[in-house]
Amino acid sequence: MAEEERGNTLNRSLQWVSHPLVERPLVSAIVVLFIVFLFIMVWIVFKGWWWSVLALFFLLTSLAQYFFPTRYELDEDGITVHFLLTKKRRSWSEFRSFYKSARGVVLSPFLKPSRLDTYRGIHILCRNNRDEVIEFVSTKLKKV
C-alpha cells in the first residue's frame, strides 16, 4: 500500500529546495574565506574600497546559485525552477534525454550529452533525493 501511494505521488509532482551553501558547510566555509581573502587582496592591490566592492559583487553574482536557494517543481507537464525573483518553466517536450551529474541530474534537449547542455539544458541540483528525481524523470524522458 505504501509503495502504491509513493508511485501515485511520483506521477503527480515532486518538489524540493536545493541550497548548496547550507548543504555543504565545510565547502561553504572555504568559499567564504576565499572570497574574504580576495576582497582583502583587491583592497591592498588597488588601494581602494570601490574596487573591492566591485570584485565582491562580481564574485557573489557569479556564485549566486551556490549562495541562494533554488526551488524545483517537477510535475506531469514539465519542470519549474524558482531562483531569487525568477521563475523558469519548461515542458517535458523540450527535452530529449537526461543523465546523472556529480550533484544531480541534467535534462538535455539533445539525444547525447553535449557541451551545449550548460546553455540549453537544465541542471537539477538534488539533495538526498537524486534516485527519486531520476525515477520521476525517467517516466518522462529517455536516459542516456
- For 74-121, how does the pLDDT look when each residue is reduced to its tens digit (9 = 90+)? 998 899 999 999 999 999 989 988 988 888 899 989 888 888 888 888
Q: Whole-angstrom Cα distance, residue 84 to residue 71?
A: 9
The pTM of this model reads 0.78
Rounded to the nearest integer, the mean pLDDT of the chain is 86
| 8 Å CB contact between 126 and 104 | yes
Task: Identify which of 82, 77, 111 has the alpha carbon closest to the alpha carbon of residue 96.
Answer: 111
User: Is the pLDDT reported for residue 23 higher than 80?
Assistant: yes
Task: Identify which of 19, 14, 7 has the alpha carbon closest to the alpha carbon of residue 79.
Answer: 14
Q: Please list, in sequence order, all residues whose beta carbon lies within 8 angstroms of the beta carbon of residue 88, skipping any fewer than 6 positions away.
A: 80, 81, 122
